[in-house]
């Protein structure tokens, strides 16, 4: 018997109301809603974002995610981040990683 997965509550813009309700299954479902099939490089970014959130209680700025991704993929990480999340770091990566919508934002 298949288990039905229920997404935690989302706000009107599609961000989780409570980031602590996020798990990797939620990420898969949220990514599908963005027409993204999560691959290893997506998970590098998403898991970094979750770790950063756990430590600081805020979503990491894109430049921090780019720096982390650069350690894994080398030069070109900035472009790669936007290939992984083509509609943007805030619009897609933050949603999929279960962040609240950041108020003030730098794109890195």
Domain CATH for 87: 1.10.10.370
Query: Is the pLDDT reported for residue 8 higher than 60?
Result: yes
**Residue 25: domain span:** 19-96
List pLDDT tens digits, range 45-91: 999 999 999 999 999 999 999 999 999 999 999 999 999 999 999 99
Total structural domains within the chain? 1
CA distance 108 to 46: 16
Give dist(CA 77, CA 74) in Å, integer: 6
| pLDDT single digits (tens) 13-32 | 889 999 999 999 999 999 99
CA distances, 47 to each of 3, 12, 59, 90 (Å): 24, 24, 12, 15
The answer to the question of residue 13 being in a domain is no
CA torsion through residues 64, 60, 80, 88, sign: negative
Task: Decide if pLDDT at 106 tops 80.
Answer: no
């Amino acid at each position: 018997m298949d288990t039905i997965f229920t997404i935690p509550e989302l706000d009107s813009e599609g961000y989780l109301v409570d980031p602590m309700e996020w798990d990797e299954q939620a990420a898969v479902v949220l990514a599908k809603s963005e027409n993204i099939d999560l691959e290893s490089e997506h998970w590098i970014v998403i898991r970094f974002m979750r770790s950063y959130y756990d430590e600081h209680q805020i979503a990491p700025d894109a430049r921090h995610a780019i720096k982390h991704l650069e350690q894994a993929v080398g030069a070109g990480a900035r472009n790669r981040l936007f290939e992984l999340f083509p509609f943007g770091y805030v619009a897609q990566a933050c949603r999929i990683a279960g962040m609240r919508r950041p108020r003030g934002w730098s794109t890195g």
